Amino acid sequence: MNRKAFTLIELLAVIVVLAIILVISIPRILKVIENSQIESIRVGAENLVKAASDRLLDLSFNVPVDKKYTISGGIFVGDSIPYNGTLPDQGIIYVTYNGYVAIMLFNGTLCAKKEFNEKRVSVTKDSICILNVPESVDESCFDYSSSVTEATVIGYDLSCSKNVIIPSTLGGKTLTIIGSSAFDNIGLTSVIIPNTVNTIGSNSFQNNFLKSIILPNSVTTISSYAFSGNIINNINIPTSVNTIGVSAFENNQLTNLSISNGVGSIEERAFYGNQLTSLSIPSTVNSIGIEAFVNNSIVNINMPSLVDVSSTSISNNFYNSYVTTYSRAAGNYTSTCQTCIWSKS
């Protein structure tokens, strides 16, 4: 006799198997959906960053002013950027006159952010999405001294904003110096330094919460402990800088460091205690001080010739390779760890 239907036991077994498959599959499906949403908002943010940069290059927009774009309810409010993609629920885009872009997008559960000096957009699951962006503050927030034509900022009012655009003039005088300890340990979260400043004094921004810094091409000297004890993860040292002072960027979170041609001296402990994995030292550098790059995770260094280094500038094993074995020859030096044996290619 042919069977024409499932028994109750067989039907229950099928249901149990299907339930097990669902229990296993649903979390994976949800994870795939979540990853797709994360990638979507990240790509959207990066496309908006590019659109904002392209907008800056538009001749009709090429004026020396900073711009702010606001997104609310999935549309631009006020000024807009030409963009064909779908906009998120909320967002803010900042563009500086010299081409830096910061962005924050929020869709209710996912937060996409990039600060001015960061290269990539990061996405997190947050119910609150905040972007720390410098803003103009009243001149009364600054203490300063001045000569006939130039000013030096020497202090900052703790009651004023912790996200600050430092003005290019104070009291009608051109600001050229950030004085020693001017912004030391006051809780700063972001700052823009004007392109009139040539000297950043000792301890000037130490022990704050700065995540990114843009150094203008006017700066020639970064003094000792200038940015130590922050959370900076990315920095570009411009061609105008001659000296990076003692412990200038000590104890930050640097993963990316670009040192331009023009820097002559990297002084002791300048980048001590960061998270660097690679270095490219420009040909203009003639000396690297004691412990300048100690307590990082450097495994790749592009070195010019004849740089004066000590046995503790990077590590004793690097010194033995660069100085003793290869007589300070230019090349790409690699290792499996910063304190391990180094070789040159």
Final residue before a domain boundary, out of 125, 144, 175: 125
Q: Are residues 35 and 116 in the same domain?
A: yes
How far apart are the C-alpha atoms of 73 and 82, rounded to whole Å?
Answer: 17
Query: Residue 248 to residues 13, 94, 148, 336: CA-CA distances in angstroms?
Result: 69, 28, 30, 27
Asked if residue 110 lies in contact with residue 33, where contact means CB atoms within 8 angstroms, the answer is no
Q: Are residues 50 and 170 in the same domain?
A: no
Is 231 within the bounds of a domain?
A: yes
Q: Are residues 72 and 168 in the same domain?
A: no
Q: Are residues 120 and 261 in the same domain?
A: no
Using DSSP bridges, classify how beta strands 331-334 and 300-303 pair: parallel, antiparallel or unpaired.
Answer: antiparallel
pTM above 0.85, yes or no: no
How far apart are the C-alpha atoms of 268 and 277, rounded to whole Å?
Answer: 19
Is 169 within the bounds of a domain?
A: yes
Domain count, the chain: 2
Q: Are residues 337 and 209 in the same domain?
A: yes
Is 14 within the bounds of a domain?
A: no
Q: Report CA 325 to chain centroid distance, whole Å.
A: 36
Using DSSP bridges, classify how beta strands 343-344 and 331-334 pair: parallel, antiparallel or unpaired.
Answer: antiparallel
Handedness of CA 79, 83, 84, 87 (dihedral sign): negative
Asked if residue 281 lies in contact with residue 288, where contact means CB atoms within 8 angstroms, the answer is yes
Is 220 within the bounds of a domain?
A: yes
Q: In this structure, what CATH number is given to the domain that contains residue 316?
A: 3.80.10.10
Asked if residue 197 lies in contact with residue 216, where contact means CB atoms within 8 angstroms, the answer is yes
**At 175, is the secondary structure helix, strand, or coil?**
strand
Q: Are residues 108 and 221 in the same domain?
A: no
- 106: closest CA among 84, 128, 85, 81? 128
Q: Are residues 91 and 143 in the same domain?
A: no
Confidence at residue 35, expressed as pLDDT on a 0 to 100 scale: 80
Query: Residue 174 to residues 59, 140, 168, 169, 195: CA-CA distances in angstroms?
Result: 29, 16, 6, 4, 10
Final residue before a domain boundary, out of 81, 96, 125: 125
Confidence at residue 59, expressed as pLDDT on a 0 to 100 scale: 44
How far apart are the C-alpha atoms of 236 and 249, rounded to whole Å?
Answer: 12
Is 325 within the bounds of a domain?
A: yes
**Segment (H or E) for 152:** strand 150-156
What amino acid occupies position 125?
K
Q: Are residues 146 and 121 in the same domain?
A: no
Range of the domain at 27: 20-125
Is 15 within the bounds of a domain?
A: no
Q: Are residues 258 and 153 in the same domain?
A: yes
Q: Are residues 74 and 185 in the same domain?
A: no
Final residue before a domain boundary, out of 102, 125, 148: 125
Is 202 within the bounds of a domain?
A: yes
Q: Are residues 211 and 305 in the same domain?
A: yes
Q: Are residues 251 and 219 in the same domain?
A: yes
Q: Give the tokens for residue 38.
A: 């994360």
Is 195 within the bounds of a domain?
A: yes
Low-confidence residues of the chain: pLDDT under 50: 1, 59-60
Q: Give the tokens for residue 147.
A: 């000569």
Asked if residue 301 lies in contact with residue 321, where contact means CB atoms within 8 angstroms, the answer is no
